[in-house]
Amino acid sequence: MATKTAASGIKARDGRSTREAILEAASRLIHVHGYNHTSLDDVLRESGVGKGNFYYHFKSKEELGYAILDQAIASFLAETLEPCFSDPGRRPLAQIRCFFDRVHEIQREQNCVGGCAFGNLAAELSDVHEGFRTRLAVVFSAWHERLTQALHEAHRRGDLHDGCRPEAVAHFLVASLEGAILLTKLTKDISVMEQCVTEMNRYLSLYELGA
């Protein structure tokens, strides 16, 4: 018996999955309760990992925060942003509208709870923790850049009015989406999100040529 490893009892953790269990529990808790208000003990209880073990895998709570953030950034870029903007079947402006819908859908899926993890952390930490502020600025900058790129591409194709300033429009779109998510989370009313997406589409049509 017991051929080789402990062969998966009720826990079955090896180095790799322990780190992932911590990451999973922590990002879930921090998304809802914030960074400061999520204690290590909460994370440990939720993930079933002991304290000494935690400090074997992470050197501090701050480093855990960075790890979660880096993971969330990668997953946002790869699983939410890119799928919309690399769809070759849509023209750039349609890609942007598709992204609005995706954000709307996510808020509906999570029942208006949690909001945007990046927006929450930005509100909580940008003024008190420069390390987090910088990392958060990176996500928003990547997001902004993807929108700017799509707008430039639309202009190149002749879909966009000349009066459109892509960088300003992109900033406004990011801001509007973040604000809409926040307002939806506060009111717990998904129709707020719907209305905002409708108005964002109208705003975009302001610059659109040959619809």
Partner DNA sequence: AGGTATGTACCGACTGGTTGGTACAAATGG
Partner DNA sequence: CCATTTGTACCAACCAGTCGGTACATACCT
> For binding to a second copy (CB under 8 A), which residues are involved?
32-34, 36-37, 113-115, 119-120, 122-124, 126-128, 133, 136-137, 140, 165, 167-169, 171-172, 174-180, 182-183, 185-188, 192, 195-196, 198-200, 202-203, 206
For residue 8 the two structure tokens come to 């998966």
Does 13 help bind DNA (rule: CB under 7 A)? yes
Q: How far is the CB of 47 from DNA (least distance, A)?
A: 9
Tell me how far apart the alpha carbons of residues 149 and 167 are, in angstroms, rounded to a whole number: 9
Q: How far is the CB of 208 from a second copy (least distance, A)?
A: 12
Q: Taking CB under 7 A as the criterion, which residues in 43-82 touch DNA?
A: 48-53, 55-57, 59-62
Q: How far is the CB of 116 from a second copy (least distance, A)?
A: 9
- Pick the closer one to a second copy by CB: 49 or 151: 151
Residues binding DNA: number (CB under 7 A): 26
Stretches 41-49, 104-112, 144-152, 160-168: which one binds DNA (CB under 7 A)?
41-49
Contacts of 49 (CB under 8 A, 6+ apart): 18, 21, 22, 43
Does 6 help bind DNA (rule: CB under 7 A)? yes
Q: What angle do CA 150, 138, 15 make, to 5 degrees?
A: 120
Tell me how far apart the alpha carbons of residues 8 and 168 are, in angstroms, rounded to a whole number: 54
Q: How far is the CB of 121 from DNA (least distance, A)?
A: 15
Does 32 help bind DNA (rule: CB under 7 A)? no
Task: Give the footprint of DNA on this chain (CB under 7 A).
Answer: 5-6, 11, 13-16, 18, 38-42, 48-53, 55-57, 59-62
